[in-house]
Chain A
Amino acid sequence: MAKQRTAVLGVGQTKYQSTRGDVSMAGLVREAALRALADAGMEWADIDAVVIGKAPDFFEGVMMPELYLADALGCVGKPILRVHTAGSVGGSTALVATSLIQGGIHRRVLTLGFEKQSESNATWALSLPQPFSVSINAGAGGYFSPIIRQYMAQSGAPDLIGCMVAFKDRQHALRNPYAHLHQHDLTFDQVVEAPMLWDPIRYSETCPSSDGACAMVLGDEASGDAATGPVAWVHGTAMRSEANNFPGRDEVNPQASRDCAADVFRQAGISDPRAEIDVVEMYVPFSWYEPMWLESIGFAERDAGWRMVEEGATHLDGGDLPVNCSGGVLSSNPIGASGMIRFAEAALQVRGMAGDHQVDGARRAFGHAYGGGAQYFAMWVVGAEKP
């Protein structure tokens, strides 16, 4: 049996915010799942399997939460898998769910990513003292800021490129009702003047901590054909991993990122990404990662990604390659869901269902997630037409 076509039939999200004090973890995931089912015009009984992903168990202190969540996700008597690939988990979860359909195992799969950051202590979980080693980094920013410094030095990018990305994403977020940060009065100067956290990353250039869940209902070709609403078709999927500290590693533009992008574009028959992709949702938790990933993925030449930012090429209004019209990770970050939100937003764009942050006429979109020490990558290309 050849690889089966896969469609995104429904998307469901919760409003991302610091604290969802009105729901338990089960309530949170169920809310997103029910919205995805409603969007797909389906009931729980229509789902054959569930694939769930989230960040480390230590965050919320629940070991293997798929066990506890099985009931809430209508999973009794069904298969459930829990994927965990660090920050890219939302993306790789969607890919594992897709593979169940591509391989002809199931016809309709519910996939979901979530994080209940308000019930977790991510800072603590990330700082668990490791035996026999000295802890020096305070958070992910401490890990990524040197890499950003390297990029700035080698590319000669002007200092404020990062601030431009942060400001853009927060502007975009104002047009996404689900986004966490809705900073209506934010000015560019406020972004620039925000306190420095990990030089050169300012507080205004980092992602928030959010409660949230994002779900998709994926279906086979027959399900896609039978859908009454618009669907997104999967044109390519790819995952790559590499070791994170080895001699000569290019941390600014990791080979795993380049290989992953090359693979997904090859599958989708894309030779000129900037021209052939209409809208991008990429995982940018720290502002400078937008120009860096633009280069690594192949939308921009090496050391020139920052020019796209400077020219406004990645802005929803007037840009030829809008990036993170949803507001991106910089505007909403329930860690376990963030990768899936990128994939889901890409699907919403080509279904014409992105509301006020819709890119007119978007036919092909790119979804991206990364994790670990910039070493895990998950990407997909979706389109309005069948591949």
Chain B
Amino acid sequence: MSGDSDSEVRLPESLNGVEPVQSVRTPIRLEYDYRPSASAESYLRAYAEKRIIGHRSPVDGAVFIPPRGVDPRHGVAISEEVDLPDTGHVGNFCVTHLPIPGRKGLEVPYVSAWIHLDGAAVGFLGLVRGCPSDEVRIGMRVRAVWRPDDELGTTAENIRHWEPTGEPDVPLEGAGNRSFHASQAGADAGESDA
């Protein structure tokens, strides 16, 4: 083994010639019965109506999606819901050539992107389709492609994916996580003009 004397194992004679166990496979199953929190429930029910809900921070009005009930910068509770449009831009993205475990029917390569909805201060993940993966870029304007009305449920999966709108890109300096600073600067400029 590792060369240290105290690990030498002396077997009883009755085990001479018996093949040692190499591994033990123990299937385990644990069930967790989750209930959505009130904010998650509100978010999911809104999806059934093709509405996307965000949470607006009482500190500076930043809108978070999904709505988790807290502003993580300050550890402050958020309860104010706002409706967000189903349009925005690609803040960043990844072209993946590996399948996701447990998700059949997702062809590789696929594009997952941080979608920055108009009015939201952070991005959230979504799939991007509708153009070749090498045409996807930071700043690309997108809109949601929803499931047909008769297939809507209380789930974020109502949005199948996001597709390019063809509008001009958001410039790099104002895209993704930089969009918040850009919007704050715009707001400040607005104030100084007043």
Contacts and interface: CB of A to CB of B under 8 A. Distances in A.
A21 B22 contact: yes
Most chain A beta-carbon neighbours within 10 Å: one of B72, B73, B126, B177: B177
A124 B27 CA distance: 14
Contacts of A124: 101
Interface stretch (B11-19, B76-84, B90-98, B141-149): B90-98
Contacts of A138: 96, 98-101
Which of B62, B125, B184 has the most A CB atoms < 10 Å from its CB?
B125
Contact of A129 (B62, B102, B156, B172): B102
B44 interface: yes
Nearest to A150: B92
A297 B184 CA distance: 28
A30 B2 CA distance: 10
B107 interface: no
Given A145-B94, A146-B94, A30 B101 contact: no
A149 B2 contact: no
Interface residues of A, number: 46
A206 B58 CA distance: 41
A145 B125 CA distance: 14
Given A133-B66, A198-B98, A21 B23 contact: yes
A61 B24 CA distance: 13
B181 A248 contact: yes
Given A22-B1, A137-B100, A142-B112, A199 B177 contact: no
B61 to A, nearest CB: 10
Identify the interface centre among A35, A138, A153, A249: most chain B CB within 10 Å of its CB. Answer: A138
Nearest to B133: A199
Interface in A123-139: 123-124, 127, 129, 131-139
B178 A134 contact: no
B2 A243 contact: no
A135 B100 contact: yes
B122 A247 contact: yes
Nearest to B47: A132
Contacts of A150: 92, 138, 176
B67 to A, nearest CB: 11
A259 interface: no
Interface in B100-145: 100-103, 109, 112-114, 121-123, 125-127, 133, 138
A34 B2 contact: yes
B23 A136 contact: no
Nearest to A244: B72
A161 B181 CA distance: 30
B114 A146 contact: yes
Contacts of A141: 94, 96, 98
Given A149-B92, A249-B177, A196 B97 contact: yes
A245 B72 CA distance: 8
B40 interface: yes
> For this complex, into which size category does the number of interface residues on chain B fall?
35 or more
A198 B94 contact: yes
A250 interface: yes
Contacts of A195: 97
Contacts of A131: 34, 36
Contacts of A245: 72, 122-123
B157 interface: yes
Nearest to B120: A247
Contact of B112 (A137, A243, A246, A250): A137
A147 to B, nearest CB: 7
Given A22-B1, A31-B2, A251-B177, A135 B95 contact: no
Given A22-B1, A132-B156, A197-B96, A127 B101 contact: yes
Given A149-B94, A197-B98, A248-B178, A136 B1 contact: no
B180 to A, nearest CB: 4
A132 B36 contact: yes
B4 interface: yes
Contact of A136 (B34, B40, B125, B177): B125
Contact of A34 (B4, B66, B73, B133): B4
A141 B180 CA distance: 25
Contacts of B44: 132
B112 A149 contact: no
Contacts of A67: none
Contacts of A127: 100-102
Contacts of B192: none
Interface in A294-332: none
The 8 closest A-B pairs by CB, nearest first: A247-B121, A146-B92, A243-B72, A247-B180, A199-B95, A131-B34, A248-B180, A145-B94
Given A132-B156, A149-B138, 6 more contacts: A38-B4, A197-B96, A245-B123, A246-B72, A247-B62, A249-B122
Interface of A: 21-23, 27, 30-31, 34-35, 38, 61, 123-124, 127, 129, 131-139, 141-142, 145-147, 149-150, 153-154, 195-199, 243-251
27 contacts: A27-B1, A34-B2, A61-B28, A127-B100, A132-B36, A132-B44, A132-B156, A134-B155, A135-B102, A135-B103, A136-B125, A137-B100, A137-B125, A138-B100, A139-B98, A142-B112, A146-B114, A154-B172, A196-B109, A197-B96, A197-B98, A199-B94, A246-B72, A246-B73, A248-B177, A248-B178, A248-B184
